[in-house]
A and B are shown apart, each in its own frame.
Chain A
């Protein structure tokens, strides 16, 4: 991998980290009203995978989706504006943290229902294939989604119709508070192989490994070899949701958290790049997020009278909820 490529990966991971740390502060302070599901610790997965995608490729994301959206190229200031519920957000303040989507970048929506994106990804992939295009679709989900029936149905559809989908399982060891070994029978990658997919497991704390293996699998998809499955072993440094941080709820062994924190993917890559390069990128990223905060805080709020705008694409008249 070239140094230029490494620097880009580092920058993207650092942007996600800085963005999320700032969001977590704002969520705990109540400025981000619905709170957020922190992605901190998992940056290498989103960045490694998305470094192989173009703007024309699609992704489906999860409730823990800020990292995927930023790694796919979304503007941090517009994502933050969305989290603050403003008109400058991608979704004009109608989606928030769990539904951030930028269709111009092929982001088919972050999704609040675990495992729901897989079948949507399969449908988008079928459309690309039917049109003879070379786009691929990456569907991100966690280890908890492996127990959702609809995701397994999506594996089957993608496999029988040989669709260009890369299913990326971010195994961060916990489905909300349930440990993976208490919630997942067998092994995620072996399950995927049962559908006839090529399945690989990779160290999700090493962005270069993720980028390399994801790149191979995405090329297979692009070449018409059908779907593939990538399990990334990773860890979230914080709990399931910012509310748990507010309440001080911790359900994991502190030693376990500390051990994983020592494997921070951003620190690891930064050590390989050298202090000067890291300092320069860190300063630029901090500056970008400072500006994003400024931008988002100054953005206009939607008018309450427009609360149901965009419910229908056409002009269907919605009756009011109270009739006087």
Chain B
């Protein structure tokens, strides 16, 4: 078979995920990959794995998401460590039963007899502009709500390090890779090879006036906004990296220092991740002003037309406005 191409090296985030898969498959023979188009690496994330590891470890599946998701569960119960790629985030709805009601529950229901170490790699989550209603959602809050360990890395180094941790974890872990970062050349793959543990947030910018919690692609948004406002306010940017379990200690320290909180995340407002962060902050942290959140509207369905799509997805203007409101600027 001819050598299949690696993703172009300027696609930083994609390349980092690809490097992590190569590394983890090389490190552990029990790790294998399955999903649609993984042989040809249609998303770029799985490029080059087939020629390197062969068809016994790179399984191109039929279009049977429910079947192959529980297939992964069975393989994991028997001792393998499957990584399942979903190229479209909305497929998570189709396999909610298989992840939430099956894989997640076996450990408790069997009194600890069974572990299900599967990684669900959602390789293009959120709007990718022009893909309309059924290809633009960001359902990580749903999995976090159900108790699935869930990571949404905002930078290539974290994507690399968290994917390796996810694969090594004894429980099911979902990783959501934001579409806008997969195709981006803005943040190049640093080539860092550090393993990033699940459940640890990262303070990317220190500041004393207000804490911004930014998730996924909005890590970049928050850093830009913080920089643009740096002549007026001193903003702290926290990237949770793992949205469940959430690093509450890190956030508590930050908010108790700054006294103010704005959350930007690309999930829907109702019962979304932002709601949980703000509720916890209200219950437990020392706030000097009402916290704000920047998120999608309730129950969002992304329309096709570009202007409508962009209207519903959070961005820097909304974040700036919320920061101003929280600080009475």
Choose the segment among A33-41, A265-273, A309-317 that binds chain B (4+ C-beta atoms closer than 8 Å): A309-317
Choose the segment among B8-16, B96-104, B305-313, B321-329 that binds chain A (4+ C-beta atoms closer than 8 Å): B96-104
Docked CA distance A314–B108 (Å): 12
Q: Assess whether A153 is in contact with B78, with CB atoms less than 8 Å apart.
A: no
Size of interface on A: residues with Cβ below 8 Å to B: 51
Docked CA distance A122–B34 (Å): 14
Q: Give every chain A residue within 8 A of B245 (Cβ-Cβ).
A: 316-318
Q: Assess whether A312 is in contact with B68, with CB atoms less than 8 Å apart.
A: no
Docked CA distance A127–B79 (Å): 7
Q: Assess whether A154 is in contact with B67, with CB atoms less than 8 Å apart.
A: yes
Choose the segment among A85-93, A175-183, A231-239, A289-297 that binds chain B (4+ C-beta atoms closer than 8 Å): A85-93
Other than the given A116-B70, A123-B77, 6 more pairs (CB < 8 A) read: A120-B73, A122-B67, A124-B74, A156-B64, A316-B149, A317-B245
Q: In the complex, which residue of chain B has the Cβ closest to the Cβ of A94?
A: B111
Q: Give every chain A residue within 8 A of B32 (Cβ-Cβ).
A: 130
Using an 8 Å CB-CB cutoff, how does the interface string of A279-323 with B read, 1 for contact, 0 for none?
000000000000000000000000000001111111011110001
Docked CA distance A162–B114 (Å): 26
Task: Knowing A127-B80, A150-B98 are in contact, say whether A157-B107 is a contact too (CB < 8 A).
Answer: no
Q: In the complex, which residue of chain A has the Cβ closest to the Cβ of B82?
A: A123
Docked CA distance A90–B114 (Å): 12
Q: Assess whether B97 is in contact with A113, with CB atoms less than 8 Å apart.
A: yes
Q: Give every chain B residue within 8 A of A102 (Cβ-Cβ).
A: 113
B3 interfacial contact with A, CB 8 Å: no
Q: Give every chain B residue within 8 A of A128 (Cβ-Cβ).
A: 78
Q: Assess whether A313 is in contact with B171, with CB atoms less than 8 Å apart.
A: yes
B76 interfacial contact with A, CB 8 Å: yes
B75 interfacial contact with A, CB 8 Å: yes
Task: Knowing A123-B73, A149-B66, A150-B66 are in contact, say whether A103-B113 is a contact too (CB < 8 A).
Answer: yes
Q: Assess whether A130 is in contact with B111, with CB atoms less than 8 Å apart.
A: no
B71 interfacial contact with A, CB 8 Å: yes
Task: Knowing A103-B113, A123-B77, A314-B171 are in contact, say whether A154-B107 is a contact too (CB < 8 A).
Answer: no
Q: Give every chain A residue within 8 A of B66 (Cβ-Cβ).
A: 119, 149-150, 153
Docked CA distance A150–B74 (Å): 14
Q: In the complex, which residue of chain B has the Cβ closest to the Cβ of A137?
A: B74
B169 interfacial contact with A, CB 8 Å: yes
Q: Assess whether A93 is in contact with B170, with CB atoms less than 8 Å apart.
A: no
Min CB gap B103→A, angstroms: 9
Min CB gap B102→A, angstroms: 6
Q: Assess whether B109 is in contact with A94, with CB atoms less than 8 Å apart.
A: yes
Q: Assess whether B62 is in contact with A311, with CB atoms less than 8 Å apart.
A: no
Q: In the complex, which residue of chain B has the Cβ closest to the Cβ of A307?
A: B108
Sample of 11 A–B contacts (CB below 8 Å): A91-B113, A111-B102, A116-B70, A120-B77, A123-B70, A124-B74, A130-B80, A149-B66, A154-B71, A156-B67, A312-B170
